[in-house]
Amino acid sequence: MHKISKLGVLTSGGDAPGMNPCIRAVVRTAIYNNIPVVGVRQGYKGMIENDMYDMETRSVSNILSLGGTILKTARCLTFHTDEGMETAYQNLKARGINALVVIGGDGTFTGALRFSKKYPDIAVMGIPGTIDNDLYGSTYTLGFDTATNTVIEAIDKIRDTADSHDRLFFIEVMGRDSGAIALRAGISCGAEAILLPEKSTAIDDLIKQLKSGESNKKSSSIVIVAEGDKSGGIYDLAEAVQKEVKNYDIKVTILGHLQRGGSPSSFDRILGSRLGYAAVKALINGHSQKMVGLEANHIKITSLEEALTQHEFKLEEDLLEMVDVLSI
């Protein structure tokens, strides 16, 4: 069994609310089990640049409510080179670190898996941390719930303006190639249509739907467009629709980076705590090259290989059908 002498913890890729509760759980579970912990700043960049510090129980006091990540994060391309990995490995060895918890999305896991295959004496455990909710092996990823709530709050405000002015808003939300945020936010805000990367939407059908809303005396309409949608970009889409739907004044809003920060929801605080605790326990029990996730409210351990090759977010067609019915 791989005995952990010292544990490194890092966050990498886009920040996500819930990362801090997760870091707190990792640090305290390790210390509780007499394993010293080192925090790596800025993800893999800090491993290469030797930017790491010893963490104590009090290093993670009062961070449950904080958005972002106290360890900072980065998208580090150098880590994907052999030289970058070798430098990172030597830095870990020099500090006596032989296990890593990496919190992030698929890019983070790809790096972790390659690194651990090259240097199997460093055990790695992944924790799904991304607002996109697109990792196999966990029904929810850290940050998805908070980001969706943030999006809902913003769209509710836009609805006030849309309604007051009889306007049609096209609103773009994040999610990279995943429509998870768009779908959840769309249902929660009563969107008239939701455009997702997982399903192509014929523009004629969209126009028909919006026109029928017009004739049904709707005073406003909201169309949510996931950033990964392939209908040709939100501005072109809005322009094409405006030509046909005359009574509404059409506006475009791109929510952008306001979706990623902010204090984590109760759900993300609990998810972060559970996954951080489970990741350290899994490492102690000898697991490596795996990811801890939550499925049916139970901790599930999945190999990183599987997490990277499968896709979790399967479009729930029944939810989209429901949106069409409820928005008449």
Q: What are the catalytic residues?
A: 132
CA distances from 204 to 14, 80, 231, 243 (A): 36, 44, 12, 12
**Shorter beta-carbon distance to ligand F6P: residue 7 or 142:** 142
Taking the C-alpha atoms of residue 87 and residue 93, their distance in angstroms, rounded to an integer, is 10
The structure tokens listed for 83 are 């030289």
> Closer to ligand F6P at the Cβ: 176 or 311?
176
CB 224 within 8 A of CB 252: no
Residue type at 96 in one-letter notation: G
Q: Which residues pair with residue 53 across a beta bridge?
A: 39
Q: Order the strands of the 193-195 sheet from edge to edge.
A: 193-195, 221-226, 167-173, 249-254
Please choose, from the candidates 313, 289, 318, 290, the residue with its C-alpha nearest in 3D space to the C-alpha of residue 120.
289
* Token couple for 176: 């990279």
- Say how far apart CA 285 and CA 1 lie, in whole Å: 8
Residue 85 beta carbon to ligand F6P: minimum distance, rounded to whole angstroms: 22
Nearer to ligand F6P, 88 or 174 (CB): 174
Q: With H, G, I as helix, E, B as strand and everything else as coil, classify residue 88.
A: helix
How many residues belong to the chain? Answer: 328
Q: Min. distance of Cβ 128 from ligand F6P in angstroms?
A: 11
In the complex, what is the shortest distance from the CB of residue 181 to ligand F6P, in angstroms, rounded to a whole number? 8
Residues that bind ligand F6P (CB under 6 A): 14, 105, 130-132, 174-176, 227, 260
Give the nearest distance from C-beta 257 to ligand F6P in angstroms.
Answer: 6
CB of residue 104 to ligand F6P, shortest distance in Å? 9
Tally the C-alpha atoms within 13 A of residue 19's C-alpha that lie toward its C-beta.
Answer: 31
- Interhelix angle for 203-215 vs 234-244, to 10°? 50
